[in-house]
Amino acid sequence: MADTLVWSVRRELWENRSIYVAPSIVAAVIAFASLVAVKLNAEPGKLASHCDLAAVALMGTTFIITVFYCLDALYGERRDRSILFWKSMPVSDWTAVLSKMAIPLIVLPAVTFVMTVAAQSTMLLTSSAYLSMSGRSAAALWTLPWLQMWKGLLYHLVTVHSLYYAPIFGWLLLVSAWARRAPFVWAFLPLAAIGVLEKMVFNSAHFAAMLSSRISGGMDGNPAKGNAMMMLWPARPLEFLSRPGLWIGLAIAAACVAGAVRLRRRRDPI
């Protein structure tokens, strides 16, 4: 099953090139914009903020890719009737759905990390070269704790963009397997309706607060001081694993994946 799962993940990559093409384009644009900023006599010390911008932009890009990928992953194969072909192959529904879940949980965080490190390294080298040729010092860039920043980024991607967002990905896949049309609407309309009903009936916003906390990675109370990349590095990594919300979310994600498998097995092409 492991070999089949690996090949199924490769198939997803072959069929969805935006998974790595879009982040590559964003990384190239940011690296080029950073070099232009240097040529416009930007202060070298301020260029450190461009590295934070690269990380944030790439994480935002891959998150958007993830949302649209998950919503189309199971809906799309029913819409174009390719599910009939894949069901004729010796690949179980569990393997097919897990390979799609592996894209947001494993592949896209890895792509984000690699692209961010590549973009920041390119920005560092090109900016340093230009500053040196123009007689200015690039010491402010080289004194940044790059290794610690990248460790913080990797931790953030694994914990928040993978584990903490797992129920979001599971829900989107479940909707993708269920919806006969407009999966984007069905994914977000029920959530909005629950929030509105809670506000009207109980005059509270606990559901909206829970969704906000989930999307923010449970870091609502963290102060945004200093270098943004440094803030991603945890003081107590085990604290994250002890959060009940993490394990509740993973249980919800598992239930959604199981539901998506059942629906894929029974749903007919559109």
Q: 205-262: per-residue pLDDT in tens?
A: 888 888 888 887 765 544 444 445 444 545 567 777 888 888 999 999 999 999 999 9
What total of structural domains would you count in the chain?
Answer: 1
- Please give the DSSP secondary-structure letter assigned to residue 204: -
> Considering only 53-62, 82-91, 214-223, which range has the smallest mean pLDDT?
214-223
SS3 call for 269:
coil
CA-CA-CA-CA torsion for 248, 251, 256, 259, nearest 10 degrees? Answer: -140
Q: CB-based contacts of 96: which residues, under 8 Å, 6+ apart?
A: 8, 86, 264
Percent of the chain with pLDDT over 70: 87
Q: Is residue 121 a contact partner of residue 50, using CB atoms and an 8 Å limit?
A: no
Q: Evaluate if residue 268 carries a pLDDT over 80.
A: no
Percent of the chain with pLDDT over 90: 35
Q: Is residue 51 a contact partner of residue 143, using CB atoms and an 8 Å limit?
A: no
The Cβ of residue 97 has, within 10 Å, a number of other Cβ atoms equal to: 28
Look at residue 225 in the predicted model and tell me its pLDDT.
44
Please report which confidence band the pLDDT of residue 166 belongs to, taking 50, 70 and 90 as the band edges: very high
Q: CB-based contacts of 120: which residues, under 8 Å, 6+ apart?
A: 51, 54, 55, 146
The Cβ of residue 162 has, within 10 Å, a number of other Cβ atoms equal to: 17
Q: Which domain holds residue 194?
A: 2-266
